[in-house]
Amino acid sequence: MDYIIEFIKGSFPNTTEAILAVVFLILVAWMYKELRASYIENNKSDQQRLDKALDSYSELDLEIYKYIQDKSDLFSVIEKVSKSVVFLPTDLLKQYDYLKRIENDNELKEVLKEFQQGILKEISRLKFKQVDTIVSKNESVK
C-alpha cells in the first residue's frame, strides 16, 4: 500500500492534484463496480424469467400432447395455458382465445396441434437465448 501512495506522490508533486486524482480514480472504480453489479443482477433476473418460461412451456407442451393422445382432459390443458399466459406472445394468446371457443373436439385437437407448434417454436427461441444451457450442440450426454 505504501508503494501506491509513494507512486501517486511521485506522479503528482502538487498535493491538490494528487488528492483530485485519487478521488477521481476511486469514483471511477466505484461507478464501475456499481454498473457491473447492476448489469449482473439484470442478467440474472432475465435468465430466471427465461427459465420459468421454458419450464411453463414444457409443461404446457406435455399437457397438450397428453390431451391429443386422449390421456388428459381439456380442463388440464386450459389450466396449464393459464399458468403460461404471462409468458405467451400475443399471437399465441390470440390463438388460445380462439381455441377456448371451439366446441368440436376434432377441430379443437387440430387447433391445439397448431398451438403446440407455436409453443415449440417459442421454446426453441427461448432456448437459444438461454446462457447456461446444460448441454450445448457440441456436447453429448454420457
Whether residues 64 and 19 fall in one domain: no
The answer to whether 62 touches 84, Cβ cutoff 8 Å, is no
The radius of gyration of the chain from alpha carbons, rounded to an integer in Å, stands at 27
Grid coordinates 397448431 are at which residue? 114
Whether residues 80 and 111 fall in one domain: yes
Whether residues 23 and 48 fall in one domain: no
137 in a structural domain: no
Q: Name which of 101, 104, 82, 80 is nearest 93 in CA terms.
A: 82
How many domains does the chain contain in total? Answer: 2
Taking only the tens place, the pLDDT of each residue in 84-123 is 999 999 999 999 999 889 989 899 999 999 999 999 999 9
**What is the pLDDT at residue 141?**
47
Average predicted confidence (pLDDT) for the chain: 87
Q: What is the pTM of this model?
A: 0.70
Taking only the tens place, the pLDDT of each residue in 48-72 is 999 999 999 999 999 999 999 999 9
**Rounded average pLDDT over 10-24:** 78
Whether residues 47 and 12 fall in one domain: no
Beta strands in 1-142 (DSSP E): none
The answer to whether 88 touches 98, Cβ cutoff 8 Å, is no
Alpha carbon distance 44, 38 (integer Å): 10
